[in-house]
Amino acid sequence: MAENGRQALLLARRLKPDVIIMDIAMPDLNGIDATRQILDEVPGVKVIALSMHSEKQFVEGMLRAGVMGYLLKESAFEELIKAIRIVFAGKKYLSPEVTDIVLRDYLNPSDEKGSERAPDLTLREREVLQLLAEGRATKEIAKRLNISIKTVESHRRNIMDKLDLHTVAELTKYAVRRGLTSIE
Calpha distance 79→57 (Å, rounded): 23
Beta strand spans in 78-173 (E): 93-94
At 107, which amino acid appears?
A: L
CA 45, 47, 53: angle at the middle one, nearest 5?
170
pTM, full prediction: 0.74
- What is 148-168 written as a DSSP string? -HHHHHHHHHHHHHHHT--SH
Distance (Å, whole) CA 24 – CA 153: 26
Report the SS3 class of residue 70. Answer: strand
Query: 87-116 pLDDT, tens per residue?
Result: 999 999 999 888 887 888 777 765 544 444
For the chain, give the number of residues.
Answer: 184
- Enumerate the β-bridge partners of residue 69: 48, 93
Residue 90: CB partners within 8 Å, gap ≥ 6? 46
CA-CA distances (angstroms) from residue 93 to 23, 48, 63, 72? Answer: 16, 8, 11, 12
Is 127 exposed, middle or buried, given 0-12, 13-18 or 19+ CB atoms closer than 10 A? buried
Q: Does domain 123-177 have CATH number 4.10.91.20?
A: no
The radius of gyration of the chain from alpha carbons, rounded to an integer in Å, stands at 17
So where are the chain's domains? 5-107, 123-177
* CATH of region 5-107, choose from 3.30.70.580, 3.50.30.60, 3.40.50.2300, 3.40.47.10: 3.40.50.2300
**pLDDT values of the chain reduced to their tens digit, one per residue, 184 residues:** 999 999 999 999 999 999 999 998 888 899 999 999 999 999 999 999 998 888 888 888 899 999 999 999 888 788 999 999 999 999 999 998 888 878 887 777 655 444 445 678 998 999 999 999 999 999 999 999 999 999 999 999 999 999 999 999 999 999 888 878 876 6
The H or E element that residue 116 is part of is: none
Other C-beta atoms closer than 10 Å to the C-beta of 37 total 19
